C-alpha cells in the first residue's frame, strides 16, 4: 500500500462504505498543543492526538521525544477509534513531520494500513467541522517490531557500514548553529539529507521517481542498509516515509540527535563532510 494519500482520494474514501479512521496530529515544536485549532476546524470525523503526550514518552535520557510506552500509545489510539482491521489516515497542518511520526508509530506497532495525507490540512479543500469528535473505541493492540529501529550504537555502526541520513537542516548538521540541543554537529559518518529536500514548495512529497533519484544520489542504492535520524525522531520519521514512497526501506534512530548529544562521551563531527 502507498504510504501517502491525496486529498482527493481521502474525500472519496470518506464518502465510501468503509471510511478510514482519521487522526489529526497538528503540532508545533516547543509550543502548546493545537487541540484548540483542531476544535475550531478539522476534517470531518478526525480525532485529535497529541504528539507530545500520546506519541512520545516524557523527555529524558532517551531524547526530547522518546518512543511512547506501547500501553500508553495503544490506549490513546484505541480512544481515537483505531482498530487493526480498519484503514487509518493521519494528517497535520501541512509540514508532514507530526503525521509521519504517527504513521511510523502505527506501522512500528503492527498496524497494516496507515497513510499520511499528502500536504496535510493545507491541501484539504473539502468540508470541515468543529468541536471534538466522539468515535467508538477501537481495538488495536500495539505489538512493536513492525518497522526497523536503531539505538545509538546501531546508528553509529550503520554510519560506518551503510548509509545513515541526517534529516535536520544543513546548518545544524554542520554545527554552525544548534538552537535546541546541547551541542551542534552530526554523528560521525552520517550524510546530510534535510527533510525539506523531499517536498515541493507547496508541501507535497516529490514524486516517487524523484525521491528515488535523490536518495540514490546520496548512496542509498549501494548501501548495505539505510537509517535516518533528526533532532528528536519526528522529522526523521518523515524522511523514512519519503524513503518508503521511493521504495527504499529504512530504519529510524528514534532518540536521534537529542539523545546522542546528551552523552558527552559520544563523538561529534562538524562541517559539511560526513567524516
**H-only helix segments in 15-137:** 35-40, 51-54, 70-79, 97-108
How far is the C-alpha of 142 from the C-alpha of 69, rounded, in Å? 10
Q: Is 230 a catalytic residue?
A: yes
Nearest to 24 by CA among 37, 7, 5, 8: 37
Nearest to 96 by CA among 114, 122, 119, 80: 119
Catalytic residue chosen out of the listed positions 152, 230, 242, 250: 230
203 burial (CB, 10 Å; 0-12 / 13-18 / 19+) is: middle
Phi and psi angles of residue 60, each rounded to the nearest 5 degrees, phi first: 175, -145
C-alpha grid cell for residue 2? 502507498
Active site residues: 230
Amino acid at each position: 500500500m502507498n504510504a501517502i494519500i491525496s486529498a482527493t482520494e481521502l474525500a472519496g474514501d470518506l464518502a465510501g462504505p468503509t471510511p478510514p479512521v482519521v487522526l489529526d496530529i497538528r503540532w508545533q515544536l516547543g509550543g502548546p498543543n493545537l487541540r484548540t485549532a483542531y476544535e475550531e476546524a478539522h476534517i470531518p470525523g478526525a480525532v485529535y492526538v497529541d504528539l507530545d503526550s500520546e506519541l512520545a514518552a516524557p523527555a529524558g535520557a532517551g531524547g526530547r521525544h522518546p518512543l511512547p510506552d506501547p500501553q500508553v500509545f495503544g490506549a490513546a489510539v484505541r480512544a481515537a477509534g483505531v482498530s487493526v482491521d480498519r484503514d487509518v489516515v493521519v494528517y497535520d497542518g501541512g509540514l508532514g513531520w507530526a503525521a509521519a511520526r504517527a504513521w511510523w508509530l502505527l506501522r512500528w506497532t503492527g498496524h497494516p494500513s496507515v497513510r499520511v495525507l499528502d500536504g496535510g490540512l493545507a491541501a484539504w479543500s473539502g468540508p470541515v467541522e468543529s468541536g471534538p469528535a466522539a468515535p467508538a473505541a477501537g481495538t488495536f493492540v500495539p505489538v512493536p517490531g513492525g518497522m526497523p529501529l536503531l539505538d545509538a550504537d546501531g546508528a553509529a555502526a550503520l554510519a560506518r557500514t551503510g548509509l545513515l541520513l541526517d534529516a535536520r537542516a544543513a546548518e545544524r548538521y554542520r554545527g554552525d548553529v544548534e538552537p535546541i540541543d546541547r551541542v551542534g554537529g552530526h554523528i560521525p559518518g552520517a550524510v546530510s539529507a534535510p527533510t525539506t529536500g523531499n517536498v515541493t514548495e507547496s508541501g507535497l512529497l516529490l514524486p516517487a521517481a524523484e525521491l528515488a533519484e535523490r536518495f540514490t544520489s546520496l548512496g542509498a542504492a549501494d548501501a548495505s542498509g539505510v537509517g535516518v535520524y533528526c533532532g528528536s525522531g519526528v522529522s526523521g520519521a518523515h524522511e523514512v516515509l519519503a524513503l518508503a514512497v521511493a521504495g527504499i526501506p529504512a530504519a529510524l534512530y528514534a532518540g536521534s540527535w537529542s539523545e546522542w548529544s546528551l552523552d558527552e562521551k559520544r563523538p561529534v563531527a562538524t562541517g559539511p563532510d560526513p567524516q
